[in-house]
Structure formats: C-alpha cells, structure tokens
C-alpha cells in the first residue's frame, strides 16, 4: 500500500529471460554454451533498459540478497543518479577464495556429467541431471551453517536405514534430504543457466570494475544511503565482507548503516529471517522516502 516493487528475471536465467535455453537466431536451436558470457553488470544494464522502457527515471531503493545484493551494489555504483537507497543483504563486493572454490566444484560436477555433452544437450534426450544434482547438494551445504545442519539433522537415521553400507543407499536423514533437493532442482532448472549465473557471481568484483582494485574508490561513486545486513553464521558471505563495504563507504563520507544479525542459519538466513529484517528495511525506506 506504499511502495511498488519491480522484480525482473535475470539475463542468462531459464526463468522467463533470454538464456542458454533460448533459441539462437543463427541456428534456430537453443544457444547452449554458445550463449555469451554474462556479468552482474549485464544484468543491471538490462534492468536499467527495462526501467527506461517503463518510463521510470529513479528508484527509491535497490535491494537484494546474495547475487541480488551484488546487483544492488552495482546499481548504486553504475547509476548513482538513479538510486536513492541501496539495501545489500548477505552479500559481498567480491567473492572470497573459498566461495570461488565451492562454485567451481559445483560447475565441475555439471561439466563432468557425460550427459552435459559440452553444453549442447537439448534435443538429445539426455541432460546432466546427475551433475546439477550434485551442484545443488554443494550449494545447499554451503548455504547452511554447521549448527543449523546439526540442529536439523544431527546423525538421525533415515527411516529405512539399515547400516548396510550399500553405496547407493541413504542411511542418514541428511543424505535423503540432499538427494531430494538434487532431484527437485534438476527437474526445474537448466544446467547451463546454473553455469552462467554461477560464473557471473564469481566474476563480480566491484573494486576491480569501478575502482582500479580500490573498493573505497569504487564506492566513492555512490550517492545513495546504504543499509547493509549480514548474518553472524554466514560463512559463505561472512560479516567481514559487509564490514569492508561499510568501512569503505564511511571513509568516503557516505550515509551507511550496517546490521550484523546474530542468527544460526548460515547464508540461508536472508531467506529465513524475514521478521528480523523487515523492521530494519521498513525504517530505512521510510527515512529515505522523507529525505529529498
């Protein structure tokens, strides 16, 4: 009843936007891995083009979690005159080596699946479902904290576990859970899109793109007030990454507020802790709405 939210699909995705599953005009077949490399900057330029087509010159705020937070930061730096507020949640100005490594493992799981076929599997009757399933398992484990995993599963056995040590059996509940997540994700998401979006996330480096390697210099372009939210148990996008952004903004005299919420769910906290985030975001929006 107060704000209008615009949420667009991503370039490179298999969810309604142009991506590897789209038809290549040159061949009439899906692009597959002939689709061009996509960056977070490309995603934001596409969003800007959408706003231009809609006739919307400025935004009260840009907001997002994880990859969405990277887009929010890119918006504030690339188009500072069009953004009054920026709300990056559970994100980073660049992924650390550990995050890069986990993403690489997930991508390699897909590409090692014989059914990937170099990315041109559409129309062959085979798809790298096993590979993207393993990639999803890796992602799920990195999104949760050790405490959250233990609380949710511990060493609880699967209902049909028999300690038979048959390698294809899932004796523990966490194994069954991961297999379920793998199968459901493979049924709804394209493997090539996963590769492209994962690579875009990995390439993102705000300091390198806009500041010659200096984050403070890149963020000097920002005019928007910034609300940063991180989570204490997020080891994939640790609170230190948010602190680095906050410090760089503050050093340039920018308006910035940082909240590190003490919660146990790891990176998934940004999806699960809505009740903790909503008052912070609501107050921030009301403040910048009244600021001219």
Residue in 113, 129, 234, 241 annotated catalytic: 234
At 162, the pLDDT band (50, 70, 90 cuts) reads low
Quick one: pLDDT at residue 169?
A: 61
* pLDDT for residue 160 is more than 80: no
Give residue 291's pLDDT. 74
Picking from 13, 21, 76, 16, the residue whose alpha carbon sits closest to that of residue 44 is: 76
- H or E stretch at 148: helix 146-152
φ and ψ at residue 22, rounded to 5 degrees: -75, 155
Would the pLDDT of 16 be above 90? no
Q: What is the pLDDT of residues 174-231, one digit of tens each?
A: 888 899 999 999 999 999 999 999 999 999 999 999 999 999 999 999 999 999 999 9
Between helix 40-54 and helix 67-78 the angle, nearest 10°, is 70
Mean of pLDDT over the chain: 93
Residue 292 pLDDT more than 80?
Answer: no
Phi, psi of 112 (to 5 degrees): -80, -15
pLDDT category, 171, cuts 50, 70, 90?
A: confident
- Write the pLDDT tens digit of every residue in 271-287: 999 999 999 999 999 99
For residue 107, how many C-alpha atoms fall within 13 Å in the half-sphere facing its CB? Answer: 19
Which of 145, 198, 267, 268 is catalytic? The answer is 267
- Catalytic residue, chosen from 66, 145, 176, 230, is 66
pLDDT at 75 > cutoff 70: yes
Across the range 105-123, mean pLDDT stands at 97
The rounded percent of the chain whose pLDDT value lies above 90 is 84
Tokens 């940063």 belong to 228
pTM above 0.75, yes or no: yes
Average pLDDT over residues 41-67: 97
Identify which of 111, 166, 151, 171 has the alpha carbon closest to the alpha carbon of residue 135.
Answer: 111
Pairwise CA distance, residues 45 & 198, whole Å:
18
- Tell me which residue has tokens 């059996």: 169
For the segment 94-119, the average pLDDT, to the nearest whole number, is 97
Q: Assess whether 259 carries a catalytic annotation.
A: no
The answer to whether residue 158 is catalytic is no
* Strand ordering across the sheet containing 256-261: 62-65, 85-89, 225-231, 256-261
232 is catalytic: no
Given a cut of 90, whether residue 159 has pLDDT beyond it is no
Residue among 96, 188, 183 nearest 142 (CA):
96
The dihedrals phi and psi of 269, each to the nearest 5 degrees, come to -60, -30
Mean pLDDT of 114-143: 96
pLDDT of residue 156: 82
């Amino acid at each position: 009843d107060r704000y209008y939210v615009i949420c667009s699909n991503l370039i490179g995705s298999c969810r309604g936007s142009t991506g590897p599953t789209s038809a290549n005009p040159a061949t009439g077949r899906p692009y597959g891995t002939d689709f061009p490399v996509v960056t977070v900057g490309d995603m934001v330029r596409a969003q800007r083009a959408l706003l231009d087509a809609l006739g919307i010159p400025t935004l009260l705020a840009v907001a997002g979690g994880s990859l969405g937070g990277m887009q929010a930061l890119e918006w504030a730096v690339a188009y500072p005159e069009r953004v009054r507020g920026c709300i990056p949640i559970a994100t980073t100005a660049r992924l650390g080596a550990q995050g890069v490594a986990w993403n690489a493992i997930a991508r390699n799981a897909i590409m090692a699946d014989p059914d990937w076929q170099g990315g041109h599997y559409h129309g062959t009757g085979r798809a790298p479902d096993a590979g993207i399933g393993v990639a999803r398992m890796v992602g799920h484990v990195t999104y949760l904290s050790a405490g959250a995993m233990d609380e949710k599963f511990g060493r609880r056995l699967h209902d049909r576990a028999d300690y038979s040590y048959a390698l294809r059996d899932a004796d523990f509940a966490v194994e069954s859970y991961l297999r379920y997540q793998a199968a459901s994700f493979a049924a709804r998401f394209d493997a090539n899109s996963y590769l492209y979006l994962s690579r875009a996330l990995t390439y993102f480096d705000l300091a390198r793109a806009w500041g010659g390697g200096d984050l403070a210099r890149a963020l000097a372009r920002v005019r928007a007030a910034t609300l940063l939210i991180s989570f204490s148990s997020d080891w994939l996008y640790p609170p230190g990454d948010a602190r680095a952004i906050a410090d760089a903004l503050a050093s340039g005299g920018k308006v910035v507020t940082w909240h590190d919420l003490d919660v146990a769910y790891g990176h998934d906290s940004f999806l699960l802790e809505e009740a903790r985030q909503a008052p912070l975001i609501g107050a921030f929006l009301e403040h910048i709405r009244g600021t001219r």
